[in-house]
Structures are given as C-alpha cells and as structure tokens.
C-alpha cells in the first residue's frame, strides 16, 4: 500500500517535471510552470521521507533529515530573496554547485557502504561437507559481485560528474563575482585531457578489481573471496585520487573560459548535475530521480547549444576557443 502510494507520488513528480519544463519554455505560462515543478518536487520529497522503505525497513534518523531540510530551506530562501537581480546568474551557478556536491557526497557514502558490506566472508574450509556449501555461497556471491561491479560503475559516474559540476560551478560563481580571474597556461587542454584519461583509467581499474575480488580460486583449489573489499587499501586510495582529480578537472575546465561566456558554461554544468542526479536514480532504482535528472541533462544540453547560437557562436568555440589565452576569449 505504502510502496504503491510512493510509486504514484514519483509518477506525479516525473510528470510535473515534464509539464513544468514545457510551460517554462513559453513566456505566458513560465511562472506557473515553475510552481508546477516545485509542487511535484515537494510531493516526491515528502513521499520519500514518509513512505520509502527498503526490505520492509523504513528510514530512520528523522531528526537529522528534518533539521537538514530546515537549515537548507532557510538559507536557500534567504539567499534567493536577498540576491540582487544582476547577481542572479551567479546565484544559479552556486545552487547548481550545491546539487553537484550533493551527488558527490552521496557517491562517497555509498562507496564506503559498498566496500564495507559484510556479505563476503572468507571461505577457507575445504572439507567435503563444507565444499558444497562453499560453492553455493560462492555462486551467490559471484552474482552479487556482478551486481557490485555495475553498482560501483554508477557510483563512480555520479562521483566524477557531480564533482566536476561542483568544482566548475564554484569557479563560475567566483568568476561572475569578480573574485576569480581568468587563468590559462600553455598546453592546458593537454593537461585537462590527460587528467580525464587518468580518471577514466582509474575508474575502469576499480570496477575490474572489485569484480575480481569477488571470485578467486587459488592453486590449492581453495575457494575464497576477500574478507571485505575495503581490506584492499589501493581501492580506497584510487577512489580518493579520482575524487581529487575530478575537482582539479572541474576547476581547470572552467578557469580559462571568458566571463561573458559564463552563462553558457553554467548551463552546461547544469546538465552535468542532471546526469549526476540520474546516476542516483540508477543506484536507488528511483524513477523520479532518473527522469528528472535525464530530462535536465538533455534539455540542459540543448539549452546550452541554443544559448551559443543566440550569441552566434558554437559550443566548441566557447569551450576550446578561449584556451589560447585572453586574446582569443573576447
């Protein structure tokens, strides 16, 4: 009963996002569209708090959740009401960065949860009676291993995209504020591409290692799995290197872009955060996060391209054209 009510709340939420976006793109209905989307969001959040359950267990820590919501609401309303009209874009950028940071934190918590999950016990006993049992356990663990690999991939995607969006948005906010100056050095795009490549390689490595650690058969014919993935220190190290590189990439990605092009970049980062939110949707099998995130991801990308067109430039021009230094950024 409760679960089906929650599904309906999510369904309504998804539909209001679509209708809201549609109405937002027409001048006459734009303001109402914003309210429609906000109402859907409220419904989805309230539904999650009161109706969500996993394995028959409801959420706890309500005190923390409600105080978090309260603090966020108060700061959000005050910040959004006080900000000057001319400072609106930087405010949007800041809020976008908060969303990216939120996705980043979710990924970090879920990663720690994944690596310390107690499902994998060491099976060293080779006596015949235990062997059958061991193999049965191994098979189930192998299938969880498959699941874990995919889950880790989603966690890493959410982490990388969310972090890049967070770091980039904060820099964009600083630039519009005048606090951060344009900054570019020779060969910066090579450095950026290298960083991106390292991130991808590390992420692939992590997923591969996690998969392997679930089923291992050594030469004595003993079946065993690692006691816990968290035992391997290099996994944690690789994860936090990915985190650090993603921050650095986000900063260096936005740094050289000229101040006048900032709205375009913010719109692009906006769609990044949408994709990061959609990763959360995959992680929790949550349809409203998935539709909301992907919708913003694709609509944001198209919007970015439209904004470039309105300025008579191409996206490539905005992103790469200014890498040459201030003279090309004008």
Partner 1 sequence: MNAVLDFLQLHIEMVYIVILSIFLGIEVISRVPAVLHTPLMSGANAIHGVVIIGAIIVMGKAESDNYLALVLGFLAVILGTLNVVGGFVVTDRMLEMFSKKKSK
HSE on the CB side for 243, CA within 13 Å?
17
Which position among 141, 151, 161, 250 is part of the footprint of partner 1 (CB under 8 A)? 151
Cβ of residue 157: shortest distance to partner 1, in angstroms? Answer: 11
Is 299 a residue that touches partner 1 (CB under 8 A)?
yes
**Interface residue with partner 1, options 18, 196, 198, 320 (CB under 8 A):** 18
Nearer to partner 1, 44 or 123 (CB): 44
Among 12, 15, 21, 43, which residue interacts with partner 1 (rule: CB under 8 A)? 21
Residue from 22, 179, 181, 186 in contact with partner 1 (CB under 8 A): 22
- With binding defined as CB under 8 A, does residue 237 bind partner 1? no
**Is 259 within 8 Å of 182 (Cβ atoms)?**
yes
Cβ of residue 291: shortest distance to partner 1, in angstroms? 5
| Alpha carbons 25 and 89: distance in angstroms, whole number | 18
DSSP E strands in the chain: the ranges are: 53-54, 57-58, 216-217, 223-224
Least distance in angstroms from the C-beta of 196 to partner 1: 20
Number of residues that bind partner 1 (CB under 8 A): 111
By CB under 8 A, residue 145 contacts partner 1: yes
Tell me if 303 sits within 8 A of 92, measured CB to CB. no
Residue whose CB is less far from partner 1, 184 or 295: 295
The interface with partner 1 within residues 66-85 (CB under 8 A) comprises 67-69, 71-73, 75-77, 79-81, 83, 85
Q: How far apart are CA 239 and CA 257, in angstroms?
A: 29
Q: Is 168 in the site for partner 1 (CB under 8 A)?
A: no
The secondary structure of 129-185 as a DSSP string is HHHHHHHHHHHHHHHHHHHHHHHHHHHHHHHHHHHHHHHHHHHHHHHHHTSS-----
How near is the Cβ of 252 to partner 1 at its closest, in Å?
23
Report the site for partner 1 in 187-216 (rule: CB under 8 A): 207, 211
Task: Examine residue 140 and tell whether it contacts partner 1 (CB under 8 A).
Answer: no
Chain positions 86 to 125 lying near partner 1, rule: CB under 8 A, are 88-89, 91-92, 94-96, 98-99, 101-103, 105-106, 108-110, 112-113
Going from the C-alpha of 219 to that of each of 141, 211, 216, 222, the distances in angstroms are 20, 19, 10, 7
CB 161 within 8 A of CB 280: no
Q: Are 94 and 171 in contact (CB under 8 A)?
A: no
Which residues on neighbouring strands pair with residue 223, listed in sequence order?
217
Q: Which of 287, 321, 324, 325 binds partner 1 (CB under 8 A)?
A: 287
Q: Which residue has the tokens 């994944």?
A: 114
Q: How far is the CB of 262 from partner 1 (least distance, A)?
A: 12
Compute the distance between CA of residue 103 and CA of residue 246 in angstroms, rounded to an integer: 13
Select from 129, 218, 285, 312 the one that contacts partner 1 (CB under 8 A).
285
Q: Which of 15, 24, 247, 248 binds partner 1 (CB under 8 A)?
A: 24
């Amino acid at each position: 009963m409760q679960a089906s009510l929650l599904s309906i709340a999510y369904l309504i939420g998804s539909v209001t996002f679509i209708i809201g976006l549609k109405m937002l793109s027409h001048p006459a209905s734009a303001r109402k569209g914003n309210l429609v989307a906000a109402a859907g969001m409220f419904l989805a959040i309230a539904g999650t708090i009161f109706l969500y359950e996993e394995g028959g267990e409801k959420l706890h820590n309500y005190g923390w959740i409600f105080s978090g919501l309260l603090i966020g609401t108060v700061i959000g309303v005050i910040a959004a009401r006080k900000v000057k009209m001319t400072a609106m874009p930087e405010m949007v950028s800041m809020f976008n960065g908060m969303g990216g940071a939120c996705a980043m934190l979710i990924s970090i918590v879920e990663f720690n949860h994944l690596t310390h999950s107690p499902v994998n016990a060491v099976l060293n006993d080779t006596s015949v009676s235990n062997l059958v049992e061991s193999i049965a356990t191994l098979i189930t663990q192998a299938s969880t291993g498959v699941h874990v690999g995919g889950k880790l991939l989603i966690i890493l995607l959410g982490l990388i995209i969310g972090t890049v969006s967070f770091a980039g948005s904060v820099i964009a906010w600083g630039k519009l504020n005048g606090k951060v100056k344009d900054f570019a050095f020779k060969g910066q795009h090579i450095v950026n591409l290298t960083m991106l490549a390292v991130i991808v390689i590390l992420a692939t490595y992590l997923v591969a290692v996690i998969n392997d650690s679930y089923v291992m058969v050594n030469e004595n014919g003993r079946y065993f799995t690692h006691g816990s993935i968290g035992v391997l220190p290099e996994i944690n190290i690789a994860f936090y290197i990915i985190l650090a590189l993603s921050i650095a990439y986000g900063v260096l990605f936005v740094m050289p872009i000229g101040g006048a092009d900032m709205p375009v970049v913010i719109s692009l980062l906006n769609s990044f955060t949408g994709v990061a939110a959609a990763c959360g949707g995959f992680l929790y099998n949550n349809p409203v996060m998935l539709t909301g995130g992907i919708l913003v991801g694709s609509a944001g990308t198209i919007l970015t391209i439209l904004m470039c067109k309105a300025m008579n430039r191409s996206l490539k021009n905005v992103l790469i054209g200014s890498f040459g230094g201030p003279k090309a950024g004008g």
